[in-house]
Structure 1
Amino acid sequence: MKLVHSYGILLISYFFCITSVLARQPIEAATAERPKETYQIQRLTGDLPINAEWNKSQWQKVPSIKLSNYMGKAPGFWPETEVKMMYDDANVYVIFHVKDHYVRSTVREYNGSVSQDACVEFFFAPDSASPEKYFNLEINAGGTPLLYYVTEPWTAFTKLDSTDIKRVEIAHSLPSVIDPEITEPTDWTIEYRIPLAVLGAFSNVTKPEPGAIWHANFYKTASKSINPHWITWSPVDYPKPNFHLPQFFGTLIFQ
């Protein structure tokens, strides 16, 4: 009798062990099926005026990234968002182009809640040895920025002050304030130059040169829009909108 009882316990233990393993498999498989994105960053030759012109000659031969993933509920209207990057010895350059439909932008103060407006965002870890530490640069359609350096999402971060933020040269194609919300199709562009010296005051910076790697993600959002959305470049496997997940950053490779 004792033998039968012990055998029954072994069977039950085996059942729970197998069930636990099987329960984890879909999560692990889902993560494996969502590879991180990669982008090759070209070197700039010559000068680049920062004027929010998407079609100017310096950008024409640079491949673009298309933001094709989303978090949360799928938006009713999907803003078509593209971004390009280049670099030189002293700066990195970024330009966003958005084919939008619902655009509102009212925040004017630095480090304000710009993500509530129509907004494009660049989260990037410039130290390849510390991909979990990153800057988040968020700029609304009116050109107002937010810039933090984050060492621990939501709990440990530094807000860059206006002196440092003003060293990031920003151009925008729309007016500084857009209110009421534009509801018809609207194209808009944000372009900027980030000096490496600004980053180096807060973080180690892996020097941009052929073969160097940074980690990053690009986002488009408008959380207080008629058409709220949270769109990403590299897929983020999380049940609700949250851009502060550096484990899902894609890879930037300098050429």
Structure 2
Amino acid sequence: MTNKLIIEKLSCTDISVSSVSKVFQEKGIQYERLTHSNWFEQFPYEPKVEFAIAHNGQYIFINYKVEEESIRAQALTDNGHVWEDSCCEFFISPDGQTYYNFECNCIGTLLVGFGPGREARTLAYQDITSTVERWSSLEHREIENTEIGSYTWELSLKIPTMAFFKHDIKSFDGLEMQGNVYKCGDKLLHPHFVSLFPINLPKPDFHCPTFFKEIQCSNKAL
């Protein structure tokens, strides 16, 4: 079982968000599978979700690859209810006391929040969310809940140091943090809540830093 996430460092300085998966392939960045369906008895559906992550000192790059039976995208404006859609999430704590949640639906609508727990989170202003570049294989448009079938899509994020708007992070080099990676879809035809690291709670809740695991940013470039 994975208990630690290593964020490899890339030597490339100029990486466009649309080329993230290609760069990962060229550099041999490995993909991880989200295998924990923490509330399987209530929500037995499991989409196939893989992600890869790297940084270059100034940006964290994430690429998600998703196969699922239905898709939904109703949130069209940043900081909307993206978790109700087909949504990939990255929660990360730089200090062990507070954490950031980067949540993005399948068409690239983003939510960024900060705080010590689920309640009273501070949402990032537009001047912060706009610094997080996104690319999706799907057209940016409203998508109603689809019929059951087979849907494959891909999402990339390019997250700068300044997106950690309550911290003064100069570089990701060598940072030791904690966090987790998720895929959800609260209002999909088959709701699901899968994660990289397991969560031992009686009902779905991703805002649970108690179950975060170690995230290590490498300082040696590939």
Same fold (TM over 0.5): yes
3-state SS of paired residue (1:108): coil
1:217 aligns to 2:180 (yes or no): yes
Larger helix share, 1 or 2? 1
Residue type matched to 2:4 in 1?
Answer: T
Equivalent in the alignment of 2:7: 41
Distance in 2 (alpha carbons) for counterparts of 1:57 and 1:204:
28
Instruction: After superposition, give the CA deviation of every residue in 1:173-215 in whole Å (9 maximum; x if it has no partner).
Output: 112222241532111111011110231x3125484224x3111
Q: TM-score normalised to the size of structure 1?
A: 0.78
Shift of 1:39: 1.6
CA contact (8 A) 1:101 1:185 kept: yes
Equivalent in the alignment of 2:105: 140
Match for 1:65 among 7, 15, 32? 32
CA contact (8 A) 1:52 1:190 kept: no
Shift of 1:89: 2.2
Percent sequence identity is 23
Match for 1:157 among 102, 121, 128? 121
Distance in 1 (alpha carbons) for counterparts of 2:83 and 2:155:
14
Residue type matched to 1:103 in 2?
Answer: I
CA contact (8 A) 1:36 1:250 kept: no
The unaligned stretches of length 5 or more in structure 2 are none
Shift of 1:225: 0.9
CA contact (8 A) 2:64 2:155 kept: yes
Equivalent in the alignment of 1:51: 18
Alpha carbons of structure 1 residues 57 and 148: separation in structure 2 relative to 1, 3 Å: closer
The answer to which of 232-241 and 99-108 deviates more is 99-108
Instruction: After superposition, give the CA deviation of every residue in 1:37-76 in whole Å (9 maximum; x if it has no partner).
Output: 212211112232211763x143440011210102323544
1:95-114 equivalent positions in 2, closer than 5 A: 95-114=63-82
Equivalent in the alignment of 2:197: 234
3-state SS of paired residue (2:17): coil
Match for 2:138 among 163, 174, 178? 174
Residue type matched to 2:17 in 1?
Answer: I
CA contact (8 A) 1:36 1:235 kept: no
Match for 1:119 among 71, 74, 87? 87
Residue type matched to 1:138 in 2?
Answer: E
- Which structure's CA Rg is the greater one? 1
3-state SS of paired residue (1:181): coil
Distance in 2 (alpha carbons) for counterparts of 1:166 and 1:182:
32
Instruction: After superposition, give the CA deviation of every residue in 1:114-154 in whole Å (9 maximum; x if it has no partner).
Output: 111111000001x2xx2131000111111111110112x13
CA contact (8 A) 2:79 2:112 kept: yes
CA contact (8 A) 2:176 2:214 kept: yes
3-state SS of paired residue (2:121): strand
Q: How many equivalent pairs are there?
A: 214
3-state SS of paired residue (1:51): helix
Q: Which has the bigger relative contact order, CA under 8 A and spacing at least 6?
A: 2
The unaligned stretches of length 5 or more in structure 1 are 1-34
Distance in 2 (alpha carbons) for counterparts of 1:88 and 1:205:
13
Match for 2:149 among 166, 175, 184? 184
CA contact (8 A) 2:20 2:62 kept: no
The answer to which of 218-227 and 64-73 deviates more is 64-73
Equivalent in the alignment of 1:197: 162
Instruction: After superposition, give the CA deviation of every residue in 1:144-167 in whole Å (9 maximum; x if it has no partner).
Output: 11110112x133321101111011
Match for 1:91 among 59, 69, 72? 59
